[in-house]
Amino acid sequence: MASRVPICVNDFRVFAKERLPKVWFEYQDGGADGEQTVEDNVEAFQRLRLRPRVLRDVSNRDLSTTILGTPINCPIAVAPTAYHQMSHPEGEIATAKAAAGTCMILSSHGSNTHLRDVTAAVSPDSLLWIQLYLYKDRNVTRLMVKMAEKSGYRALVLTLDSPITGKKLKDSPCVYPSLLYRLPNIEAEKSKNVVRNIGFDMSATWSVIDWLDSITTLPIVVKGILTAEDTREALKHNVAGIIVSNHGGRQLDGVYATIDALPEVVEAARGSNVEIYVDGGVRKGTDVLKALALGARAVFIGRPILWGLAYDVSLIVSMSLCMGIHMRWKGASGVKQVLDILKEEFSLAMALTGCRTISDITSDLVISPSKL
């Protein structure tokens, strides 16, 4: 078993693979079909090259920015992912605590923690958004929205790329521990006997965004757009933001990497007030810089957050056994380490490319392989 202190994000993946049950790790780490898109999301960043500028005063760097008007300490935020208790008993609460200073999007369907419990566990100024799916029974979405509004969530993130669940070859038919079936946000609505069908709505069209806008005062961010065509459609429906996403390669295999799709979406949204974000494949600080140079307002991190959760609980438990003493779990620590490493690497990348502020990160800092 590895024992060294992690020094980069990929080190956390190694620890998670060693310490989690195989079926749990493969559920988190896997993607659709042959996982071509999972690999492309990471590799596409590596194909881009940087064009640094020199002899600029970078002695003080400001990494702060805003998303939907709210300040965050750096443009690195937490994407919605399911089953955080698979990695750590404190689950989504630990993640939310670690995300202090930036934004966390809570998964509504796949969260092991009720959305009210997450907001209750963090400071009132924490920036939390809630992710939503489109269900056949609109009551599910409607009630989720009302709970989110009352609980202090500041935006709705509507996932568009999941009318049906993608095929994942690594998913095992084994029985998961009962905690993985605890989905309190969904169960709370079932108990009210007002929900008829919890399945995803495969018949939904763009008009669903108008319906969602009619029942809430919260800004709407749409997640799962990869094309200029869909970007232009989204702009017709009063969205505040777009997350360029292919669901981490977990839905349709063979689509292109999100960083490759980003410029197309940014160009299609040019001239609007819609903010563009990106997720998928971010593993290094230079990845963050490349995404911002290509037009992203911020990046959202998925799998590395779960690896961070797994690292902390496993390390502390193993230390407890070796030392023969009881140690309290500190779930937020591993996630915070992941975010801190990315933030430090991003700051370094800014310095070495001649950038003092986020506004200094411009498109001329990046060149694609086709132009080399």
Cα 289 to Cα 345: distance, rounded to the nearest angstrom:
10
Cα 63 to Cα 207: distance, rounded to the nearest angstrom:
37
Cβ contacts of residue 27 below 8 Å, gap of 6+? 83, 86, 170, 171, 172
| Pair 163, 133: CB distance under 8 Å | no
Cα 229 to Cα 346: distance, rounded to the nearest angstrom:
32
| Pair 139, 111: CB distance under 8 Å | no
Structure tokens at 54: 């020199």
Of 88, 114, 247, 326, catalytic: 247
Q: Which residues pair with 223 in a beta bridge?
A: 159, 243
Phi, psi of 46 (to 5 degrees): -70, -25
Identity of residue 305:
I
For 307-325, the three-class secondary structure string (H helix, E strand, C coil) is HHHHHHHHHHHHHHHHHCC
Q: Which residues pair with 200 in a beta bridge?
A: 135
What Rg value do the Cα atoms of the chain yield, rounded?
20
Taking the CB of residue 273, how many other CB atoms lie within 10 A of it? 8
Whether 237 is catalytic is: no
Burial pattern 245-267, b for ≥16 Cβ within 10 A else e, equals bbbbbbbbbebebbbbbbbbbbe
| Pair 258, 280: CB distance under 8 Å | yes
| Pair 88, 312: CB distance under 8 Å | yes
Give which of 243, 341, 364, 352 is closest to 285, Cα–Cα. 341
Q: Which residues are part of the catalytic machinery?
A: 247
